[in-house]
Amino acid sequence: MKRGHKWAMGVGLLLSFCSGPKGAEASPTSEWIAAGDRHFVNRYDEQRVWKAIANYRQALKKDPKDYIALWKTARAYGWLANDRKSKAETRKVAERGLSYAHRAVRQNPKGVEGQFYAALCVGYVGRSIPMIMALFKGIEKKVLTFFRTARRIDPKFEGGGADRALGVYYHTVPWPKRDRSKALQHLNRALGFGPNNPWNHYYLAEVLLAEDRKKLARKFLLRCIGLREGQAGKAVLKRVQPRCRT
């Protein structure tokens, strides 16, 4: 089974195509955000993610302090950072997302979204640079702080996303910090918050396979494969389910 989407949790010219707001009843900011959301729901198509970013950034031109536009922009860059072809691209995209996440956290420190996507983007930055540099920059501490803060604010967010990320961390971090018992504890907690989140099943299976508990791992892989669009989003299923079949 391939390992992907680790915590460690393309950039260029912003594409000029974006669907502008229609109608005059709602505020310009909310219309641009809604336009971005219509693209992001189809995020399995990378071009739609860039369109979403373009719309969110238009919202921020109207109001640079709009919390929702800030964290959604960070989320979109975080999604892109997972699939870059090089570490240099990953770092560039993740750092762009992190800049928006930091702004979101400053705007609303008690918002779970800003904390969560800040952690995600920091993790991708850490994954893209040498370990010594990551240690020097304090990447690990930043990731854990953001995810733990997100968990305190709302442990149910993203189907137990913070616990899931912490579980992946304890599974993938090098020895002697690796602790698969803690990984399973966090991932089972995440599953309780998000029983239909395919990532929870996938990562539980991954840890169990590492523990040579193949029968139980297979159960979670089959559950992941069995999820349907009514239970989990199409974009997420398209990313996760193929990994469960390998």
Phi then psi for residue 7, to 5 deg, are -65, -40
Residue 27 carries which DSSP code? -
Residuewise pLDDT in 10s, the chain (246 residues) = 544 444 443 322 222 233 444 444 567 789 999 999 999 999 999 999 999 999 999 999 999 999 999 999 999 999 999 889 999 999 999 999 999 999 999 999 999 999 999 999 999 999 899 988 988 999 999 999 999 999 999 999 999 999 999 999 999 888 888 999 999 999 999 999 999 999 999 999 999 999 999 999 999 999 999 999 888 888 888 889 998 987
What pLDDT, on the 0 to 100 scale, is given for residue 6? 46
Phi then psi for residue 178, to 5 deg, are -60, 135
Angle at 109 between CA 41 and CA 92, to 5 degrees: 55
Decide: 67 and 109 in contact? Cβ < 8 Å.
no
pTM of the predicted model as reported, rounded to 2 decimal places: 0.84
Instruction: Please give the Cα distance from 66 to 29 (Å, whole number).
Output: 8
Helices (H), the chain: 28-40, 46-62, 67-81, 87-107, 112-128, 131-137, 139-153, 157-172, 180-193, 198-210, 214-226, 234-244
What pLDDT, on the 0 to 100 scale, is given for residue 11? 28
What pLDDT, on the 0 to 100 scale, is given for residue 245? 87
DSSP output for 128-149: HS-HHHHHHHTHHHHHHHHHHH
